[in-house]
Structure 1
């Protein structure tokens, strides 16, 4: 098991001024699919932001293939895919423009996978729209197409089915199953319940 661990977290602590979130949280995540499950306000998105290096923990260590976000932020960032579906940072970009910028950032980018996900999520008609003009579901589909094609050793996906139609949700399940066997890659999905048919290798419960 230890040889297969991609992401190791030890003693992670984080609190907002108004409430605590994580207290001495530890995990050793192997390659494959990890579900972070919890109710609203249980800390799922906060955990993803910590793993992405977007938030700094008050204590504890995060190591992705031996790299820490604090010690080697640029090298760590190249190994992590994170795009917050609630953020407006991409609003001025078109979906095509943003997707086109990703190969330069991710050394393991898979163009064939992007083509498959564009087809599977029926994104062709949305590629030339700016993000601000996309529906909630279409925006999530573009972000997930980029996430899955990135090849990033740590791929973080938050609340994946928000706004998705049934065919797209079904495709997402198949797409996740396909990446489950990629060596050296852990895909962490935060959601309040399990997604049917997805072969989760690890399930982490957050209680808030």
Structure 2
């Protein structure tokens, strides 16, 4: 099921790294559902997610989520966004269990039953007590995505989801993404170079090759 009301509105977004323009005048209006940002290497997929997460600041433009303007009210906006960068080592000293236990206080729509389902679906049972630095790339990514899917966040951002995943986990992810995105008023936005087979994509944004 897709919510046809606009959940996330982006207008005239511009961002450049020194000597490299990444986005210029970018815009999109996303209803609830599962959305894909696709494109070739260095086309701005990850940068867009980091802008939406508030990790980077746009040089121009606006980002509005459920009527909350990111620039005008960043704290309220941030409470409705889930973002965990798999390339960051900021969580590495924590175990999966310890990190997950912190998240219900931040995300009011946190679904503990969904987390249990994702632990099973991603075969994470033996890893929940390990620090993240001790996990493989794929297992760490699964820990982060299990939390993302269980968060219930109105804007859930997932970058390059299948990197390091085994085939059964990738197949489970496609089903889990579609299920999470069916929650009313929720956008699950994935950045990847192509659609994941089996996922029910409602919107596809192509940044080009």
TM-score bracket, shorter-length normalisation:
over 0.9
1:58 is matched with: 59
Tell me how far 1:207 sits from its aligned partner: 2.6
Within 2, Cα distance between the matches of 1:169 and 1:148? 14
The residue correspondences of 1:99-178 to structure 2 (distance < 5 A) are 99-178=100-179
The residue correspondences of 1:1-208 to structure 2 (distance < 5 A) are 4-207=5-208
- Structure 1 residues 15-60: Cα deviation after superposition (integer angstroms, max 9, x where no partner): 0002000000000000000000011111111000000011110000
Within 2, Cα distance between the matches of 1:49 and 1:55? 6
Q: How many residues align?
A: 208
Contact 1:110–1:151 under 8 Å retained in 2? yes
Q: Secondary structure at the match of 1:151?
A: coil
Tell me how far 1:180 sits from its aligned partner: 2.7
- Structure 1 residues 80-130: Cα deviation after superposition (integer angstroms, max 9, x where no partner): 000001111111111111111110000110011001001100111001111
**CA 1:61 to 1:21, structure 2 compared with 1: closer, same or farther past 3 Å?**
same
Within 2, Cα distance between the matches of 1:168 and 1:50? 28
**CA 1:14 to 1:174, structure 2 compared with 1: closer, same or farther past 3 Å?**
same
Contact 2:22–2:44 under 8 Å retained in 1? yes
Q: Secondary structure at the match of 1:102?
A: helix
Within 1, Cα distance between the matches of 2:4 and 2:32? 10
Within 2, Cα distance between the matches of 1:3 and 1:197? 22
Contact 2:30–2:203 under 8 Å retained in 1? yes
In structure 1, runs of 5+ residues without a counterpart are none
Tell me how far 1:11 sits from its aligned partner: 0.2
Runs of at least 4 residues of structure 1 off by over 6 A?
none
Within 2, Cα distance between the matches of 1:17 and 1:94? 36
In structure 2, runs of 5+ residues without a counterpart are none
* TM-score between both structures, scaled by the size of structure 1: 0.97
Q: Secondary structure at the match of 1:171?
A: helix
Contact 1:155–1:186 under 8 Å retained in 2? yes
Contact 1:180–1:199 under 8 Å retained in 2? no
Q: Secondary structure at the match of 1:76?
A: helix
RMSD: 1.3
* TM-score between both structures, scaled by the size of structure 2: 0.97
